[in-house]
């Protein structure tokens, strides 16, 4: 048999060749070869229990199965989502800390907070937009005895003091939706901010508020049970779960489409190979029938929007909400 012994010189040449091959690979490819090798943190910049938190947990479970590593949802709330969002922006750009962003954190806060600006839109890599959830105009008929948006408008016009409305805080899509309504209708409204949707809905049911433009997810159980009445949904088309409830557009308010949306982002500078890996996995999860069904049960619309389209959409949303904030004269925080 031929002698297969490898000399020390040949062995060193082989090692050198392997090292050269690795060195010639793009850095992003080297980093992502073993990605992910540990748990991924998905930051929800709001308290547990809201629709953003619930959808993040549904997506996180599907994403863990897709990537083969745990996806741990972490809630970091405060300042309309700005605190958790800024922490993700400052995290290591290695694909192990992600943000579950919303219309508020990615498109509204930049117009509301003095320390933020449009430039903050570039603090992230955009991975995928997965849901859109509309707002809904709801009332307590015992307090506000109207049957349509037109009748609510007539009531507002006849009220010297003006109607009041609740929201989970200044700058939320719920707050700004009501401001849009007041501006478009030319009526006086009084904003009553709360620490979340639950106490605002409780006061609406208790007869302390005239109306709320609530996100459809927390309001839906109260509407279907008859405790509250939905006058309109602020979506492009009627919501399948509430087929008899007209849209704001059908109610005479053109282009009145408001709500929140959810997408996954990573810190700026995350290697492209990791961005591609995550984006592919996120969109695969968003396309699964089980994920879509759960989102629809919450009154939402499942989406599968990739990085470039998601980034372009976010900038358009920023411009739209910035105009609403300016028209309403909302003071910067």
Q: Decide: 124 and 80 in contact? Cβ < 8 Å.
A: no
Residues 213, 149 within the same domain: yes
Is 25 contained in some domain? no
Are 96 and 72 in contact by the 8 Å Cβ rule? The answer is: no
Domain match, 110 and 161 both? no
Q: What is the pLDDT of residue 32?
A: 54
Q: Which of 193, 215, 233 is the last residue of a domain?
A: 233
In this prediction, residue 212 carries a pLDDT of 96
Residues 205 and 163 in one domain: yes
CATH code of the domain containing 84: 3.40.190.150
Within this chain, do residues 221 and 138 fall inside the same structural domain, yes or no? yes
- 59 inside domain: yes
- The reply to whether 229 and 265 lie within a common domain is no
Same domain as 109, residue 96: yes
Whether 53 and 97 share a structural domain: yes
Query: Do 320 and 268 belong together in one domain?
Result: yes
Select from 198, 233, 268 the last residue of a domain: 233
Determine the pLDDT at residue 33: 67
> What is the CB-side half-sphere exposure of residue 184 using CA atoms within 13 A?
20
- Mean pLDDT for back-to-back runs of 10 residues, the chain (333 residues): 51 51 48 84 91 94 97 92 94 98 93 84 96 96 96 92 89 91 91 88 95 93 95 94 95 92 98 98 97 93 96 95 85 77
Residues 146 and 221 in one domain: yes
Q: What is the CATH number of the domain that holds 208?
A: 3.40.190.10
Output the pLDDT for position 28: 47
* Residues with Cβ within 8 Å of residue 270, at least 6 apart in sequence: 93, 94, 95, 125
For the chain, how many structural domains are there in total? 2
Q: Based on the domain organization, do 112 and 146 belong to the same domain? A: no
| Domain limits for position 155 | 134-233
Residue 22 located in a structural domain = no
Q: According to the model, what pLDDT value does residue 6 have? A: 53
Q: What is the pLDDT of residue 22?
A: 45
Please report whether residue 264 resides in a domain: yes
Same domain, 142 and 200: yes
Q: Domain check: are 74 and 118 in the same one? A: yes
**Residue 216 placed within a domain:** yes
């Amino acid at each position: 048999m031929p002698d297969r012994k490898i000399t020390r010189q040949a062995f060193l040449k082989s090692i050198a060749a392997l090292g050269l091959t690795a060195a010639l690979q793009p850095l992003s490819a080297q980093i992502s070869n073993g990605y992910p090798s540990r748990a991924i943190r998905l930051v929800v910049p709001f308290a547990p229990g809201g629709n953003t938190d619930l959808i993040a947990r549904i997506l996180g479970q599907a994403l863990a199965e897709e990537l083969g590593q745990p996806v741990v949802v972490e809630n970091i709330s405060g300042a309309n989502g700005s605190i958790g969002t800024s922490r993700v922006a400052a995290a290591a750009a290695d694909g192990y800390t992600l943000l579950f962003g919303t219309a508020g954190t990615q498109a509204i806060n930049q117009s509301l907070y003095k320390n933020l600006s449009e430039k903050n839109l570039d603090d992230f890599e955009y991975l995928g937009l997965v849901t859109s959830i509309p707002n809904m105009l709801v009332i307590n008929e015992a307090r506000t005895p109207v049957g349509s948006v037109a009748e609510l408008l007539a009531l507002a016009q006849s009220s010297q003091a003006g109607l009041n409305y609740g929201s989970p805080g200044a700058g939320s899509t719920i707050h700004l939706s009501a401001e849009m309504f007041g501006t478009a209708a030319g009526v006086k409204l009084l904003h009553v901010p709360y620490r979340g949707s639950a106490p605002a809905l409780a006061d609406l049911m208790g007869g302390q508020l005239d109306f709320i433009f609530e996100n459809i997810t927390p309001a839906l159980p109260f509407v279907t049970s008859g405790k509250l009445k939905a006058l309109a949904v602020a979506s492009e088309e009627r919501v399948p779960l509430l087929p008899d409830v007209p849209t704001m557009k059908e109610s005479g308010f053109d282009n009145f489409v408001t709500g929140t949306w959810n997408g996954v982002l990573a810190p700026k500078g995350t290697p492209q190979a990791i961005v591609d890996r995550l984006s592919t996995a996120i969109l695969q999860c968003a396309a699964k029938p089980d994920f879509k069904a759960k989102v629809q049960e919450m009154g939402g619309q499942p989406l599968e929007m990739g990085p470039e389209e998601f980034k372009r959409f976010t900038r358009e949303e920023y411009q739209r909400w910035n105009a609403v904030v300016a028209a309403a004269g909302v003071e910067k925080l």
